[in-house]
Amino acid sequence: MSKQRRVALIIETSSIYGRQLLEGVIKFMRSNGEWSVFLEQRDLTSEPPQWLNDWDGDGILSRATTPDLADAVAAKGMPLVELTDRRGDLGFPHVWSDDAEIGKMAAGHLLDRGFCHLAYCGFTDEAWSKRRQVAFSEIVSKRIDEPQIYESPWLGAIARPWEEEQQHLANWIQQLPKPIGIFACNDVRGQQILNACLDHEVAVPEEVAVLGVDNDELLCQLCSPQLSSIIPNAELVGYRAAELLAQMMEGIKVTQREWLIKPIGIKIRQATDVVAIEDQTIAAALRFIRENACDGISVDDVLKTVPISRSSLERKMRKYLNRSPQQEIRSVQVKRAQQLLSETDLPMDQIAGMCGFQHPEYMHVVFRRELDLTPGSFRRTTHP
């Protein structure tokens, strides 16, 4: 009988991201053998328990690694997989959400809505926030001007009191050009922005559209209006980290130091449900496409709803979005297919029908053309 492994999970239970990481670990354990697990209720800012420095276990998955803990674990040669994304590399293999891809996805989402002004609202001294900001700014600066940036401390003694921080945010928002799309580094930041807008009568999404990260359903739905949010694949992060730790505990040498897991997609709610284009005819056409693309519409169907010629629609769509009406329809369909492939176990033919493709074979062709991946390959990379 193989030895039952003793594993410490130093992962916060207070956040949706931490709980989804744990769901990925559980999924791995269910299919690969149970571990004897230590897990305590904790939040992201809690220090790792002191006893962990001298703990005689088999492995650690940690979201709270400090330099002292890193030194202690390294001295004992105990396997540790790093999930802490708040600081730099501490010398262990790490599995993180791909913050650069999150930033790029945010830029694409807000640019697709026609915004000529974009901004980023993050936290200082948080490595994950900085990575998202850099990737976001890189994409935005290639298409329009450099985004406006607002950052302030998130946690600890140097963080401003809540009311003071809200006033600083409101002052920043009020001086921004309008309409503007704001990428908030996470849903907590997104809620703060929406509260500041609400308190100072800034219209959302007409003047300010807001996109967060983490898709914390409860938090997003408590916002007014409800917050749109990028969905990181935290469950897959947890699964891959557990898989890696299991290999290390078996004595398998790991040479790769970094695994980055791409986000699943975006849950669009009222906070970004807008098209920031002054041309109301094109705005109406885009709204119709986004609401009906998965019903299998064609460009002819779009032309029936807006008073414009085909040539004018084509020319203006390329002017505002740099793609044709048909490409916009396909883009909406593929994004919906990505979501269903990542979040469900539905068969390919059913997903094809739900996304407006008459045949799964055609979905395969379009998916590969758009993403350079087959639907099956995409599902395998996003599904534990």
> pLDDT for 94-110, tens place per residue?
999 999 999 999 999 99
Contact by Cβ (8 Å): 101, 132: no
Q: Residues 184-191: what's their mean pLDDT? A: 97
1 in any annotated domain: no
Contacts of 254 (CB under 8 A, 6+ apart): 93, 244, 247, 248
Q: Residue 63: is its pLDDT beyond 70?
A: yes
77 in any annotated domain: yes
| Residue 371: its H or E element | helix 360-371
- Confidence at residue 1, expressed as pLDDT on a 0 to 100 scale: 41
The answer on 103 and 225 residing in a single domain is: yes
Q: Residue 354: is its pLDDT beyond 90?
A: yes
More confident residue, 370 or 193: 193
352 in any annotated domain: yes
| pTM listed for this prediction | 0.77
User: Which CATH number is 10's domain given?
Assistant: 3.40.50.2300
Phi, psi (5° rounding) for residue 277?
-130, 125
The answer on 134 and 86 residing in a single domain is: no
Q: Residues 33-57: what's their mean pLDDT? A: 80
CA torsion through residues 169, 175, 179, 183, sign: negative
Of the listed ranges 94-108, 158-172, 230-244, the one predicted with least confidence = 158-172
Q: Residues 10-15: what's their mean pLDDT? A: 90
Q: How many CA atoms lie within 13 A of 1 on its CB side?
A: 5
222 in any annotated domain: yes
Q: Give pLDDT tens digits for 293-302.
A: 999 999 999 9
Contact by Cβ (8 Å): 211, 107: no
Number of domains in the chain: 3
